[in-house]
Every structure is written in C-alpha cells, then in structure tokens.
Amino acid sequence: MKITFLGTGTSQGVPVIACDCAVCSSKSKHDKRLRVSVLIETQEKKIVIDAGPDFRYQMLRVGLRRLDAILFTHEHKDHVAGLDDVRAFNHIQKSEIDIYAHIRVQEALRKEFHYIFSGNNYPGVPRLRLNPIVENQTFDVSGISVIPVSVMHFKLPVFGFRIGKFTYITDANSVSEEEKFKIKGSEILVINALQKTKHISHFTLNEALDFAAEIGAQRTYITHISHNMGTHREVSRELPEGVFLAYDGLELEL
C-alpha cells in the first residue's frame, strides 16, 4: 500500500492569506500546506480521504488518473468543498464515484451540493454513489477493508480510518479508550496537531505526542498543521524518534 499526503495544512492552508509570519514567509516546500487530505493506493485501487477546497489541484499535482472512492471524515468545508471536481473522473471512467460518509455527513453534502442530488440530471453534474459509514462497523471499499475510528472534534463526532496497519486521524482532540483499542498495532499512525498552544478542537503538538506514545506505532506522522506550529525544519528538531511532521507530497510505503 502506498500513502501520499495530498495536503497537510489546517482549514486556512499555509501560507495564510495576508500573513507575513516566519512560516507563511518561508521558502521551504515543506511549509507550503494545502488543506488536509491523503491518497491511498493499492495495486489496483485508488482511494482519497477527504476532498477539500484544494482537491482539483491536489489531483493534478499527484497526476491521479483514476479514483475509486472518497472517504469523508466529517462535513467541515475544508474537508468537503472540492467534491464537485470528481466529475472529471466520472467523465474519464464512465461510472459513478463511491462516496463513504456518516449519514449526518451525507445530509450535509446533499445540502451543500444540492444540484448533484436534485434528480434533474443536468449534464456534467458529478455522479456519486453514497454509502453509509456506521460506528463500530467495518466496511469494504473496492475490496479494501476499512475500520472506522470514532474521535471527537470538540463536540462533533469525526471518523478516523484504519486500513491494515495504517491509521489516519484528523480533526480530533479526544479519543476514547475503546477507539484507541482499534488503533493499537498500527505500524503507521497519522494524527493531527494544530499548534503548540491549547486549542478547543484539535490536539496540540504535546497532546499528539502523548497520544502517539500511548499507541506505540513504529512511525507517527503529524498532519493538519497550522502556521502557528512553527517551520517544518524547527519543529522536526524537537520531535522524538519515530515521530515526523508530514508535508505535502510525502509518500509512504506499507
């Protein structure tokens, strides 16, 4: 399985519009972060987790020629805003795209993209096949087994996903003991950390490091990073062995 980080930034991305802080002014490619998303590729299947405002550019940048499914963690704009652009894959593949999401998230998609689901069948409208994700129920995506992991984003339930020995969690600030049990044994853990200071709905860097130590994955990658975290170079020096800041374009093999 190949994992590509399509985006590792927070809802505003990095650099932030009109900001001249050290991170936003950095020339390093590691400090240029699109909205958070990841591509999972097996020998035959291509799956994306979340399709935010940068989805079109992310697909062009990685050169993806086929898409089998999108898994949505939750309904916030920085995770769903690019859904309309799947119509390019509809055109090429001559088929619907499978969408997997909690029923609450599906309702938000129906409202946000009402023209897709209106039944008018306007030419060029994305063609989607909605599939529900249910808590504590493993589901199959094009032959790939996925375990949903329920986490909390302040008061909003959000799904993380475990696929084989890989676990991906974004937009979380608490995970129950029951859900941690689903994660343990992962070889690669991806976990969000917005910044170093306390935040109402995201792990801080120290909280993410504590979580990583508890899970004990061989490798942990931090994602959903804001410009308040510090530069990639500076923060990377502070991390313990086996923990890394993810960056756009990073590829992992599992």
pLDDT tens digits along 145-197 = 999 999 999 999 999 999 999 999 999 999 999 999 999 999 999 999 999 99
Helices (H), the chain: 55-62, 77-80, 87-93, 103-112, 114-117, 177-183, 205-215, 232-236
Identify the DSSP state of 195. B
Other CB atoms within a 10 A radius of the CB of residue 185 amount to 12
Percent of the chain with pLDDT over 70: 100
- Contact status, residue 164 vs residue 147, Cβ threshold 8 Å: no
pLDDT at 211: 98
Contact 96, 68 (CB under 8 A): no
* pLDDT of res. 119: 86
CA atoms within 13 A on the CB side of 62: 27
Per-residue pLDDT tens for 39-71? Answer: 999 988 999 999 999 999 999 999 999 999 999
The token duo for 3 is 């994992």
Across 110-121, average pLDDT: 92
Please give the span between the terminal C-alpha atoms of the chain, in angstroms, as a whole number: 5
Q: What is the pLDDT of residue 123?
A: 84
Domains in the chain, start-ordered, CATH in brackets? 2-253 (3.60.15.10)
| Residue 231, pLDDT above cutoff 80 | yes
